[in-house]
Amino acid sequence: MEHIYNEKKKGAPVFVLLHGTGGTETDLVPLAELLNPEYNVLGIRGNVQENGMNRYFKRHGEGQYDWEDLDFRGKELYEFIVEKSKEHDFKLEDVVFVGFSNGSNIAIQMMLQQPETFKKAALFAPLYPADIEENHDFSDVEVFLSLGKGDPIVPESESERVINLFRERGADVTTAWVNGHSLTQEVALEAKNWLNK
């Protein structure tokens, strides 16, 4: 998979950057710099194409996921991160997901698939339109969720569903609300305060 790896400080946590639809592996680098310039950075480009735009998994339409593909792609991306952790000598428990939109959604998928592994995420404009049967224990998971009022892609009821997905499993959830489907400077600073508290 197309990716970048920037090592800032040996042994520091690693941001795994997951872009939105149509993005690339470098889109969220400025955000990572703002959140914590000492963290190492692994930016990964989605390898699914939708009308020439990069994504992490297939869908049948807005908010209509190809669940089989999402399951497969979540495992594939996880294996890729494992491979990079060996190559660059970092621990999986030091990973902090930073995702926007489609990137946030694949991050949620990996957290559900690997509940023992990933403990921290800053997810902007997430959407995960499914009722999860498994009752994973997220009591040692910390997540920052940036959600949109009047988001044309994610209805507020779906934002609440994402909040509950984490909260009902015991995660430490911090929420922030923006207007629309966006990642603003203001909410990025809130995420920074959350991360470095």
Active-site amino acid positions: 101, 151, 181
Contacts of 100 (CB under 8 A, 6+ apart): 18, 19, 20, 23, 27, 28, 124, 125, 183
CA distance 143 to 25: 22
- SS3 for 122? strand
Q: Are 128 and 169 in contact (CB under 8 A)?
A: no
Q: Where do we find the tokens 């988001």?
A: 151
